Structure 1
Amino acid sequence: MLQRYPDAQRMNHWLIALLFFGAGLSGLAFFHPSLFFLSNLFGGGPWARILHPYMGLLMVLAFAVLAVQLWKENRWTKTDTEWVRHSKDMLAGDKSNMPPAGKYNAGQKGIFWLMVVCLAVLLVTGVMFWHAWFPEGNILMRRVAVLLHAAAATGLILGVIVHIYAAIWVKGTIRAMTRGTVTETWAKHNHPLWYKEVKERPRA
């Protein structure tokens, strides 16, 4: 077994996931009248409105900690561009032409940076119409902020759906975030450059 994620990163990941669902479901309750029933999960409309921005803020802060730890490994390279070019073949079941990936492949990096951008937009726009703490402001700017907030939330939700699907699709991936380890076979098959780096790393 190879360690892929330490305990602190895994705990932070699941905290982000919990806050995402809390902020997401409470936000959807106000997105459309047909979804308002979701506010019952938080004790009704007033409580959903109160809790939503706090859960969102905590999610951004928790993700910021994770992003600081992982951003270097998610930098885009020429290999990632090549990976994208052959991604259709991979989805069709042919991985023979896929370039070797490091700790994260181009798809994972794309999701990471999508989340960074979406959460940054959600934070800035959310503050712009957080009436409890920032009651003043231009009404037009607030309306634009609400629109951008909804667009960023949609992008984030779609990104998380892809993230979850990919974790289920690639057998052995979920173990990395539940137990923190992966098998050597999984590492050699899915992330050979990272496998080589780990094996060449001097033992403590």
Structure 2
Amino acid sequence: ELLWDSFHYDKDDLRWLARMPRYFMGRAVEMPPQGRLNAGQKFHHAGVVVFSATIVASGIILWFGKGTLGPQGLAVWAMVHDLSMLILTILLVGHLYFTFVYKALSGMVTGYVPEEEALIEHPKWVEEVKEGKIED
């Protein structure tokens, strides 16, 4: 379910991504309504999946292709490998930043957030839970 959600975006998600700088500044109240995951979380999860797979694939290519790729091929795959790692590092730093700006560590550890916070960050999800469409 998390993987599926991470690659599916609706109009509110796209509006959220356009307004992401506001979220960076700790102004979640001004963001479009979101479901269980906000668009930034979806984007983060999708990035981790894609770039982790890219690191694994490019690493295998580099490891086994040393004798056949030639210098240019090795350079290209090394660049793909390194850029993917750089992007994952940026995603990690962003993850840590939001963990502390929004005091989300307890929610990450326990899986629970106070309803007041959920209403600000994930109002669509709160509505679905209250209507019995999904379990909390």
Give me the TM-score of the superposition, normalised by structure 2.
0.81
Partner of 1:112: 45
Hey, what's the Cα distance between the residues in 1 that align with 2:123 and 2:132?
Answer: 14
Secondary structure, aligned partner of 1:164: helix
Distance (whole Å) between structure 1 residues aligned to residue 25 and residue 92 of structure 2: 22
Give aligned-pair identity as a percent: 28
Query: Which protein is bigger by CA-based radius of gyration?
Result: 1
Match of 1:14 in 2: none
Give structure 1 stretches of 5+ with no counterpart.
1-68
8 Å CA contact retained: 1:128, 1:137: no
8 Å Cα contact 2:66/2:74 also seen in 1: no
CA distance in 1, matches of 2:42, 2:80: 23
Match of 2:11 in 1: 78
Runs of 4 or more consecutive aligned structure 1 residues displaced over 6 Å after TM superposition: none
Q: Which residue of 2 aligns with 1:199?
A: 130
Matches within 5 A, 1:6-25: none
Q: How does 1:8-47 map to 2 (within 5 A)?
A: none
1:101-153: per-residue Cα shift (whole Å, max 9, x none)? Answer: 1111121122122212211210110001225xx76532332332112111100
Structure 2: which amino acid aligns with 1:180? G
Aligned ranges 1:185-196 → 2 under 5 Å? 185-196=116-127
2:36 is equivalent to residue 103 of structure 1: yes
What is the aligned partner in structure 1 of residue 115 from structure 2? 184
Structure 2: state its 5+ residue gaps.
none
Deviations 1:8-67 (A, max 9, x none): xxxxxxxxxxxxxxxxxxxxxxxxxxxxxxxxxxxxxxxxxxxxxxxxxxxxxxxxxxxx
- Contact kept in structure 2, 1:103 and 1:193, CA below 8 Å: yes
Q: What pairs with 1:30-179 in structure 2 (closer than 5 Å)?
A: 69-74=1-6, 75-92=8-25, 94-95=27-28, 97-130=30-63, 136-140=67-71, 141-171=73-103, 173-179=104-110
Give the 3-state SS of the residue equivalent to 1:142 in structure 2.
Answer: helix
Distance (Å, rounded) in 2 between the aligned partners of 1:93 and 1:169: 7
Give me the whole-angstrom Cα distance separating, in 1, the residues matched to 2:15 and 2:68: 46
Give distance in 2, aligned partners of 1:179 and 1:96.
23
Aligned alpha-carbon RMSD (Å): 2.3
Aligned residues: 132
